[in-house]
Chains A and B, each alone.
Chain A
Amino acid sequence: AQTVTQSQPEMSVQEAETVTLSCTYDTSESDYYLFWYKQPPSRQMILVIRQEAYKQQNATENRFSVNFQKAAKSFSLKISDSQLGDAAMYFCAYGGGSNYKLTFGKGTLLTVNP
């Protein structure tokens, strides 16, 4: 079974600084997708960024980028120029093969200090 581990229960960053959230996963599949979701306080969970395992190039979405290390099974999220609105719980998720279900990590609570 696949597992997703987020080793940082909480992180904090100063506004305008850069922060990296860690995620590792375990799988025996070769074809899969990885996701970072954001859940702001009392608000809807939304997708931040996705990475296809067969793509070597790291995904980027504006201020958000990932460092995908397939051999190491590592999938970290970098947030540049952090903003107050980035404060949220961030979940790393794994989706593999024909299994439509996702496996989520336990989440990292990000605080952005002004």
Chain B
Amino acid sequence: EADIYQTPRYLVIGTGKKITLECSQTMGHDKMYWYQQDPGMELHLIHYSYGVNSTEKGDLSSESTVSRIRTEHFPLTLESARPSHTSQYLCASNEFSGRLNEQFFGPGTRLTVL
């Protein structure tokens, strides 16, 4: 299995709470991604980073924010959680290796906002 970790694996919180989903990888990859996976299992890219101090919004608009202060760490923050944020969040990473851009995925965080 790939060395990419996400914590917590499961989180149930109340509306209005601030939360941070953690993602870290030990592979030295410079590129990292956050996906939101809806109940139908479709993946939506919400944030990505191509290196330290570089973050971009993905294809799906999200109220979450991300930061990339260290290569191995790419946390996602929701300032005020709402029930509409209930979803599974997947973190992934890859590196430039020739032109191969296979992504490695973490186990995911399943978030429920009550």
Contacts and interface: CB of A to CB of B under 8 A. Distances in A.
A31 interface: yes
Nearest to A45: B105
B107 A97 contact: no
B45 interface: yes
A46 B105 contact: yes
A37 B90 CA distance: 14
Interface of B: 1-2, 31, 33, 40-43, 45, 48, 50, 90, 92, 94, 96, 99-108
A43 B101 contact: no
B43 A33 contact: no
B40 A33 contact: no
A39 B103 CA distance: 13
The number of chain A residues touching the other chain, given as a range, is 20 to 34
A107 B105 contact: no
Contact of B96 (A35, A50, A52, A100): A100
17 contacts: A31-B99, A35-B102, A39-B41, A44-B1, A44-B2, A44-B106, A45-B105, A50-B100, A52-B100, A95-B101, A99-B101, A100-B96, A100-B101, A101-B33, A101-B48, A102-B103, A106-B41
Contacts of A101: 33, 45, 48, 101
A100 B31 contact: yes
Interface of A: 31, 33, 35, 37, 39, 43-47, 50, 52, 89, 91, 95, 97-102, 104, 106-107, 109
